[in-house]
A and B are shown apart, each in its own frame.
Chain A
């Protein structure tokens, strides 16, 4: 069985590479693959426009998708294990809404459009990220508080959805009292986008994401113990409080940075852990965490490609594409839950 699992990594790696290069070639302006490879290898291309498109626009966008997909999928997995609820995810539990609220407060109240956002010095977008992080963690804290009171998983999800609504209602109020251009900028941001990150901002996004993912990898052992529930885990020597806080922190970092840079992206966090578990046939986090990271990146890159309507200049909003991939997966999982081992 382990040998089979080991095949997963090169396979997923190859799919990831294919989607990455494919994403650079495919777009409103198609660029031949050999040119893309040449540009990437630094040989340049005879068409300066192509070189600019690939290096200035598509490369940061693909890297952003890669990082965002990994982040969201991983935070979804951590939440599903922590709450022992296969339908938990950053967007369902209202954590994305919390990050949303933080961003809304900065963008709508203090102003600053996405265009400016790109030119802001570090302190500028740091404010947005910190606000997103604070919002996400506040909601996570609330959910953890309620999870101690409400043991029923479905009820907890409903509380999460309610908290999400509350955050949205505050956002509506902020919207209502904001100027039109600020509202427009915020709505555009809310549609989700991998293209809002400039090359200069990438190292920051990258290091936050890597820090979060590293933390997730360090949590593999307690995550496995948590499969048995908190009492069993405590009996196995796991510090429950510390583990909860670390998982909270990790999901907070991952969801908040992704949301701040790319907008609230739905379904990747919810659906990818299921895809990973179904492919892998195991809930053992030792394999599940890396496979979820890689699958999340693949799915995000795929969504990024699907945003481009073939044969036209039209670009679909990201949040119009992710449910098309994610919702069927969740429906499939729910319908077939009796036959899926990790549900039983």
Chain B
């Protein structure tokens, strides 16, 4: 990405943390040089306590940085008034709301607050923007339902609609997929990705969803205490080994072959070849059972995947058995070794 657009948020030598009683400072992370670009979804990954929330709160302006600079659209963050900042950065938080008694439409209309007058009276223009935001967030069909009637995933969409109605070029989300079921997680992430592309928003979200982040994140920030932030596209980070350093804590292993985390690295090799999809899932089952999918060899057991119900298991001694399911295959291999 040599011809990248100009960043909307740029931090230089930023240090984040808290000021404790008596003016002592507790630094959570320092020397942060980060850039956020329009049209991209950036996922902030890190274990609990790594400082993800502190970083997000600092970028949201909820807490002051301990040092360094944050530039928003080329101007220092501190030069923005609260009003102008609210037109620049929209947030979706994990904070519990009391919005059960208002409708989704009214919730989204709160996003117009930075633009409306003293009494919050909505003009024609505001109504149009609210409707567009509800449609873009995929929650227009529930516009006149109470927020309390929504599922967790729909609530998240309603909050995203609020952030869209705020018409900010930047949207920051704190763990938007936490507490959601699998379908809502995927829906939410796909939605955010679509919004980034179609509306050229710069989206930053913190998440624990490694799979989804690798799949849909244009850029990942890997945050860990005491290490510089690793930033880049998921693929570059994986192939460059950044993930292994970040997640290879005691007993946790990142497998660059599959993009998955395991509790320990499997060492016993089992050869896998054949149909791509079948062999992928055969590999998945082997890893779970403590084997390492490898190239086919005569020195150890190999599986030739013709079809999901035709798995030929070749043993080094020369005999062969056919398994009709992956479960059967696993039991044969486990039994023999």
* Contact surface of A with B, Cβ cutoff 8 Å: 1, 81, 84, 218, 220-221, 224-225, 227-229, 231-232, 234-239, 277, 281-284, 286, 341-344
Are the C-beta atoms of A344 and B100 separated by less than 8 Å? yes
Cα A341 to Cα B119 in complex, Å, equals 25
Cα A13 to Cα B90 in complex, Å, equals 41
Determine whether B89 belongs to the interface, using a CB cutoff of 8 Å to chain A: yes
- Size bracket of the B interface: 35 or more
Ordered by A's residue number, 16 sampled pairs between the chains whose C-beta atoms are within 8 Å are A225-B113, A227-B101, A229-B97, A234-B62, A234-B82, A235-B60, A235-B91, A236-B111, A236-B113, A237-B87, A237-B114, A238-B82, A277-B101, A282-B103, A341-B146, A341-B149
Are the C-beta atoms of B82 and A239 separated by less than 8 Å? yes
Measured between beta carbons, the chain B residues less than 8 angstroms from A234 are: 61-62, 82
Are the C-beta atoms of B148 and A344 separated by less than 8 Å? yes
Measured between beta carbons, the chain A residues less than 8 angstroms from B103 are: 282
Q: A228-B110, A343-B100 are in contact. Are A1 and B144 (CB under 8 A)?
A: yes
Within 8 A of A (CB), among B202-217: none
Report which of A224, A231, A236, A342 forms a contact with B95, defined as CB distance below 8 A: A231
Determine whether B106 belongs to the interface, using a CB cutoff of 8 Å to chain A: yes
Cα A218 to Cα B120 in complex, Å, equals 10
Are the C-beta atoms of A238 and B98 separated by less than 8 Å? no
Cα A220 to Cα B93 in complex, Å, equals 23
Mark B77-97 against chain A: 1 for CB-CB distance below 8 A, else 0. Answer: 000001101110111010111
Are the C-beta atoms of A224 and B110 separated by less than 8 Å? yes
Report which of B62, B102, B119, B149 forms a contact with A283, defined as CB distance below 8 A: B102
Cα A283 to Cα B102 in complex, Å, equals 6
Cα A42 to Cα B91 in complex, Å, equals 60
Q: A221-B120, A229-B95, A237-B83 are in contact. Are A342 and B114 (CB under 8 A)?
A: no
Measured between beta carbons, the chain A residues less than 8 angstroms from B93 are: 229, 231-232
Add 4 more A-B contacts to A227-B97, A228-B97, A283-B98 (CB < 8 A). A232-B93, A232-B97, A236-B114, A237-B87
Cα A59 to Cα B146 in complex, Å, equals 42
By Cβ-Cβ distance, the 5 closest A-B pairs, closest first, are A342-B101, A283-B101, A237-B86, A344-B148, A221-B120
Q: Give the shortest distance, in Å, between A57 (CB) and chain B (any CB).
A: 40
* Contact surface of B with A, Cβ cutoff 8 Å: 60-62, 82-83, 85-87, 89-91, 93, 95-103, 106-107, 110-111, 113-114, 116, 118-120, 144, 146-149, 166
Most A CB contacts (10 A, CB to CB) among B61, B87, B91 go to B91
Measured between beta carbons, the chain A residues less than 8 angstroms from B90 are: 235
Cα A227 to Cα B96 in complex, Å, equals 10
Q: Give the shortest distance, in Å, between B160 (CB) and chain A (any CB).
A: 13
Are the C-beta atoms of A229 and B98 separated by less than 8 Å? yes
Measured between beta carbons, the chain B residues less than 8 angstroms from A229 are: 93, 95-98
Q: Give the shortest distance, in Å, between B163 (CB) and chain A (any CB).
A: 9
| B57 (CB) vs chain A CBs: closest residue | A231
Q: A225-B110, A283-B101, A341-B101 are in contact. Are A235 and B89 (CB under 8 A)?
A: yes
Measured between beta carbons, the chain A residues less than 8 angstroms from B118 are: 218, 221
Measured between beta carbons, the chain B residues less than 8 angstroms from A231 are: 60, 62, 91, 93, 95
Report which of B91, B144, B146, B147 forms a contact with A232, defined as CB distance below 8 A: B91
| B120 (CB) vs chain A CBs: closest residue | A221
Are the C-beta atoms of B166 and A236 separated by less than 8 Å? yes
| A238 (CB) vs chain B CBs: closest residue | B113
Most A CB contacts (10 A, CB to CB) among B98, B111, B119, B149 go to B98
Q: A221-B119, A234-B62 are in contact. Are A282 and B86 (CB under 8 A)?
A: no
Measured between beta carbons, the chain B residues less than 8 angstroms from A1 are: 144
Are the C-beta atoms of A282 and B119 separated by less than 8 Å? no
Measured between beta carbons, the chain B residues less than 8 angstroms from A277 are: 101
Measured between beta carbons, the chain B residues less than 8 angstroms from A238 are: 82, 113
Q: Give the shortest distance, in Å, between B241 (CB) and chain A (any CB).
A: 37
Most A CB contacts (10 A, CB to CB) among B61, B103, B107, B110 go to B110
Q: A284-B106, A286-B120 are in contact. Are A235 and B97 (CB under 8 A)?
A: no
Are the C-beta atoms of A227 and B99 separated by less than 8 Å? yes
Measured between beta carbons, the chain A residues less than 8 angstroms from B91 are: 231-232, 235
Cα A227 to Cα B120 in complex, Å, equals 15
Cα A257 to Cα B111 in complex, Å, equals 36
